[in-house]
Homo-oligomer: A and B are copies of this chain.
Amino acid sequence: MRFEKDTIEILKKALIKMEDGFESLPGVDTDHDLEGTEQVIMEVAERMQDNFPYFHPLYAGQMLKPPHPLARVAYMLSMWINPNNHALDGGRASSRMEKEAVAQIAEIFSWKNSLGHLTSGGTMANMEALWISSKLSPGKKVLASDQAHYTHNRLCDVLGLHFESVPCDDEARMDVSALEEILERENVGTVVATIGTTGTGSVDPLPEMIELRKRYGFLLHADAAYGGYYILVDNLSPGTRGAFDRLHEVDSIVVDPHKHGLQPYGCGCILFKDPEVGRFYRHDSPYTYFTSSELHLGEISLECSRAGASAVALWATQRLLPMVPGGEFAKGLSKSRDAALWLYDKISSDGRFRTILSPELDIVVWAPNGASASEISLRSEELFKAAEKRNLYLAKFKYPSSLLRAKWKGVDFDQEYVTCLRSCLMKPEHFDWIERIWTILAESAV
């Protein structure tokens, strides 16, 4: 296979256009060591061959999605300026592009007057959400499901907040009666609803959680880092759709453009429904914030120096592929989900395999058959390797035995976790390749 290289010509043209803006400046003599640079870069290229082929449809493993070529070229172009979106003094154009791009993301959740900004990733975005929650309801507990990302538990420890995890039902969604039991006995300030767990793509039952909020009063934070963009598609199951339809009712949303938004790492995004929370960020910097009375992004974010290039790449992508239902971007997500459903059907009707959940988004988790948890785990390891030999790249996933007992009758659960296989089918191309993926998988399982 060959890499896409057409965008390099576009980059050259764009550099010429961009430098027109600086034509009044005198030329600068530089004597960069081009020979040395080439030598090192060729060494880098050789070392970088040692990677799974994340960009290829036959990589159907971990949660990795290649950036759109447009996002890549926009990011590259920006690096000639290397703007810093902390302040307008560090990046006027990219700060404005960030504000526009973030407003467009807020719009897919029907938020018109929210406060938000980009972050370098999901950890910082979720941390800001939990931090603001703790300011709004100090001293109270934070809850998230036991299938939520481990970052919530750890961030609460970092922030000095009390955390408790809520058991999940058999569909890996937060168990609402378990949630209510905790709400009864604890002083809960914030509940995290995971909109697409990173493990199985399960979506917490948001409508029921919103009902409980009416009775118990707490802040709802949606960790939609992975799943958020799925609000745009037309092929969700009614239950999952029901959760997305209520997403606009939460207090804060995290969505990672570097997960499903076609962006290179690191690009996260935090949105707050109530723009008034901006007051908690306030600080006084003596050396920035001078150029204008316009908002500097550093006034509403915890991070200081931050790549403006991420904002430029995101803005450009959303310009080419507007985030509207029925648009090309939404169709790409629908295809990923169709690919997941197709593969799930094949696997679950094949006696050699066991499945767990019908995919809510685009992740399929399954395992080869076996009499015990340990045997199934061993066979997962073997299948992982056999597939890799045939150029099909899967991921492994430790699934709690406790969530499998009711589903896998007759299996001897002789260990706490079962190693399963997991495919995040995040690339639109996965749909076109799914029969081939299945063929290789079926061959590997012999």
Contact = CB atoms under 8 A, between A and B. Distances in A.
A8 B11 contact: yes
A295 interface: no
A199 B287 contact: yes
B8 A21 contact: no
Contacts of A46: 17-18, 21
A303 B32 contact: no
Interface residues of A, number: 137
Interface in A94-132: 94, 96-97, 120-124, 127, 131
A404 B393 CA distance: 64
A47 interface: yes
Given A64-B84, A283-B154, A316 B44 contact: yes
Contact of A28 (B1, B18, B28, B302): B1
Contacts of A84: 64, 265
Interface string A285-310: 11110100000000000111111110
A130 to B, nearest CB: 10
Contact of A151 (B15, B265, B304): B304
> Which of A38, A76, A81, A286 is packed against the most chain B CB atoms within 10 Å?
A286
A272 interface: no
Stoichiometry (number of copies): 2
Interface in A1-52: 1-8, 10-15, 17-28, 30, 32-34, 36-38, 40-52
A43 B319 contact: yes
A34 B7 CA distance: 7
Interface of A: 1-8, 10-15, 17-28, 30, 32-34, 36-38, 40-58, 61-64, 66-70, 72-84, 87, 89-94, 96-97, 120-124, 127, 131, 149-151, 153-155, 158-160, 198-199, 256, 258-259, 264-266, 283-288, 290, 302-309, 312, 315-316, 319-320, 391, 395-400, 417, 422, 429
